[in-house]
Structure 1
Amino acid sequence: MPKAVVLGAAGGIGQPLALLLKSNPLVTELGLYDIVNTPGVAADLSHISTPAKVEGYLPPNDGLKKTLTGADIVVIPAGVPRKPGMTRDDLFKINAGIVRDLATGIATTAPKAFVLVISNPVNSTVPIVAEVFKKHGVFDPKKLFGVTTLDVVRASTFVAEVLGDLSKAPEITVPVVGGHSGVTIVPLLSKASHPLPSSFSSDERDKLVNRIQFGGDEVVKAKDGAGSATLSMAYAGAEFATKVLRAVAGEKGIVTPSYVHLTADPAGGDALKKEIGADLEFFSSNVEIGPEGVSKIHPLGKITEHEQTLIKAAVPELVGNIEKGVNFIKAPKL
């Protein structure tokens, strides 16, 4: 039965994420790791009347190895949060090293686990994990996911607000493609399950797209220097983890956007590269998840001229973000 692990479990995302995973009936064992407070978080969660057995470890005495032993799914929200005026790129210098070290632990202890990366900037941290796994000879592109679900959750919520009915939010789906920061976030509103009103102007559409792309800034500003999107991110991370767990358990037809290595499905990846007109290694698109991980990368299909323009704006940013992550591992250190 599945053992889920949260690396960065005592943080603003890690704690609510661990709570949601503890309450998930598909999880039978929960391993928690952080540099502080993890035994306390584990003790607290262990009193909840659900089947998952919880253990929490700190770095001493091979804590990371103990946490990861036997892991089936590893979720990584570790890192520092974004502060006002800070871009996801500013986070890179700190979070890149954290993610590299955790990826090394996974590569050596749980190389066959599904790895779900939340740590920002996702566009760069996922390539870091891939490069670490390649160095250890354990890279499986089908099992590495950048979690972009928060963009999807925001898009669904904001479209429901436009439609004036938040009760519809859970059933609204909006594919969000590209990456997971600013202009790389491309909501395909033309493919939303619930169409926007015919009276919706292009100005209103642009404002909605901008809100989906920069929803994180809204939260950072509202928290007034006290943090970033933690609760909504934990919800989104748990939602995506649940989809992976359901797929591993044998459920068919689970399709959701995720930022993946395009060799996870070479045919689908090549078709997607032709659509976007760029030879990218990573891109977020609708992926079908099966027991082995990514089973199919779906094409974008027919999109509007406006959405094509958004994709064109996203590509150069993505190229730079991916290179930054790859070079962090490959480039010789001075």
Structure 2
Amino acid sequence: MQPRLGIGQRLVAHSVPCHTSASPPPPRSRLSGTRTAVSLLPRPPAHPAAASTQPVSGHLGLLPSLELDMASSSATISSLGAQAALVSKPKNHGISGTKASSSISFGLGSSFLGKTASLRASVTTRFAPKAKPVARILPEASYKVAVLGAAGGIGQPLGLLIKMSPLVSELRLYDIANVKGVAADLSHCNTPSQVMDFTGPAELASCLKGVDVVVIPAGVPRKPGMTRDDLFNINAGIVKSLIEAVADNCPEAFIHIISNPVNSTVPIAAEILKQKGVYNPKKLFGVSTLDVVRANTFVAQKKGLKLIDVDVPVVGGHAGITILPLLSKTRPSVTFTDEETEELTKRIQNAGTEVVEAKAGAGSATLSMAYAAARFVESSLRALAGDPDVYECTYVQSELTELPFFASRVKLGKNGVESIISSDLEGLTEYEANALEALKPELKASIEKGIEFAHKQQGAAASV
């Protein structure tokens, strides 16, 4: 049986001496002699790395699998942007961005998402009596992703990161201008996905037809002295027009809203989709992943932890005091003084302003936002591909609190949100409980502002 390979993937088996039932292998430790090697993008094949039975972690999550006792052998498996490792399977408790699998897993690592990041496919090795093992590589690069606002400060690096995903077959880039050059540039990257460009409203429908994931970073960026709410009047209209096109052309797609203020633009999108009769709350997401990325980074720095091991759930919203990192839920378990808790919370809440001020008017947090958005896209694609254990923090319609929208950890599946992790709000510290109550009025006002905008737009359209 031949292995099933994805686009741009190849499996090369090198003949090596091996032991058969007629020639039993000498005593050895588990996994001895089992090695894997990787060829990354256009560079010479890497030296084979000895397999380990220790869990290997990446910036976006763990790379678990099963221990394997197999005869001494050697194979070279090449996959664009891929890195393979045989490791023992740790317990998965729904850590954001992580994967648990009952098969041997390929961590499709890349330079932008970390050594063993979440760009993953699965390899299942089967054994039959006195037969050679058969490797199967799944899934193929078969998903279509559209980026609306692809020529902007977030859109360009985001397009590059998505282009590097082995799960994407088509990357469709849309903007009102200057997108052809971006597409031409990205198309030279020798990764599986085909790059297509679309310019202006007349080509928007063609861009969206048949896509699996739509990512919307379109809008004006923050400038010094601006809050996310200051962006509302401009970005609300942009999101409205784009969501109308999504509703008409790809209503079943996962929709990722990046355009700020996310606390308001997600409710706007929900109302537009309702008006179109295609609203599915399980497939509409506000991308708040950057808050988690920042929380993980700042906590690791403060406590001297390995960044790849740190996971901090962040709940609430995606602006100012509505961002609430639950430091008491940090993994691995770590204690914080009252001063550290307040310092870290405020820094995470104001991290966007920190970048805006550091850039001195030259832009906002475009690169880290693109990184976080790429992580969420990859998690969505893994869920669509059938990965059973994908967890991310995201701003969605929720019954976790009395608010209609709320950011929290969710489990993602083929149909979007499978479940919302309510346990994160249990056993909060006094500081966290007070902060949770304090954020609710501001988040409620932002949600209502978005809903009111959508209703006014509907009324204005009806009166024309």
Q: TM range, normalised to the smaller chain?
A: over 0.9
- Cα deviations by residue, 1:302-330 (Å, 9 ceiling, x for unpaired): 21111001101110011100001101111
Deviations 1:161-196 (A, max 9, x none): 10234xx21221000000000000000000000334
Deviation string 1:212-271 (CA, Å, 9 cap, x unpaired) is 011001000000000100000000000011001001000012111110012xxxxxx2xx
Structure with the higher strand share, 1 or 2 = 2
Corresponding letter in the other structure for 1:53: Q
Q: For residues 245 and 390 of structure 2, what CA distance do their matches in structure 1 show?
A: 29
Displacement of 1:142 after TM fit? 0.5
Matched, 1:323 2:448: yes
Residue from 353, 376, 385 that aligns with 1:240 = 376
**Equivalent-residue separation in structure 2 for 1:95 and 1:119 (angstroms):** 7
The superposition leaves residues 62-120 of structure 1 with CA deviations (integer Å, 9 ceiling, x where unpaired) of 21111111110000000000000000000001100000000001000111100000110
Partner of residue 15 from structure 1, selected from 150, 156, 181:
156
Q: Hey, what's the Cα distance between the residues in 2 that align with 1:38 and 1:170?
A: 35
Once residues 333 and 350 of structure 2 are traced to their aligned partners in structure 1, the CA distance between those partners, rounded to angstroms, is: 22
Please give the alpha-carbon distance, in whole angstroms, between the structure 2 residues aligned to 1:315 and 1:163.
29
State the partner residue of 1:259.
Answer: 395
Aligned-pair identity (%): 57
Give the match's secondary structure for 2:204.
helix
CA-to-partner distance for each residue in 1:11-41, whole Å, 9 max, x for gaps? 0000000000000001110100011111111
What SS does structure 2 have at the residue aligned with 1:224?
coil
Residue 228 of structure 1, aligned match among 341, 364, 380: 364
CA distance in 2 between partners of 1:25 and 1:106 (Å):
25
Q: Does residue 33 of the first structure (1) align with residue 144 of the second (2)?
A: no
Determine if the alignment matches structure 1 residue 289 to structure 2 residue 405.
Answer: no
**1:225 aligned counterpart, secondary structure:** coil
Q: Which residue number corresponds to residue 435 of structure 2?
A: 310
User: Counterparts in 2 of 1:1-334, with a 5 A limit?
Assistant: 1-59=142-200, 62-165=202-305, 168-196=306-334, 198=335, 200-262=336-398, 269=399, 272-273=400-401, 279-299=402-422, 300-331=425-456, 332-333=459-460
Deviation of residue 207 (structure 1)? 1.0
Counterpart of 2:143, as a letter, is: P
Task: Report the CA distance between 1:301 and its aligned residue.
Answer: 2.1
Equivalenced residues, count: 316
CA distance in 2, matches of 1:146, 1:304: 26
Looking at both structures, which has the greater relative contact order when contacts are Cα pairs under 8 Å and sequence separation is at least 6?
1
Q: For 2:363 and 2:304, how far apart are their aligned partners in 1? A: 29
Partner residue of 1:266? none
User: Secondary structure of 1:30's partner?
Assistant: strand
State the secondary structure of the residue aligned to 2:168. coil
1: distance between equivalents of 2:308 and 2:198?
A: 35
Distance of 2:417 and 2:406 partners within structure 1 = 13
Q: Residue 203 of structure 1 aligns to a residue in which SS? A: helix
User: How far, CA to CA, are the matches of 1:113 and 1:170 in structure 2?
Assistant: 31
Question: Structure 2: how far apart are the matches of 1:83 and 1:57?
Answer: 28
Secondary structure at the aligned position of 1:28 is classed as strand
When structure 1 is superposed on structure 2, of 62-71 and 4-13 the one drifting more is 62-71
Separation of aligned partners in 1, 2:333 and 2:361: 36
Q: Which SS does the other structure have where 1:295 is aligned? A: strand
Distance 1:171 1:215 in 2: 21
TM-score, reference length from structure 2 = 0.67
Aligned counterparts of 1:103 and 1:246: Cα–Cα separation in 2 = 24
In structure 2, the residue corresponding to 1:116 is in which secondary structure? Answer: strand
- Cα distance in 2 for partners of 1:116, 1:134 equals 17
Structure-1 separation of matches of 2:391 and 2:253:
20
The one-letter amino acid paired with 1:4 is V
Runs of 5+ in structure 1 lacking a partner? 263-268, 274-278
AA aligned to 1:33 is: Y
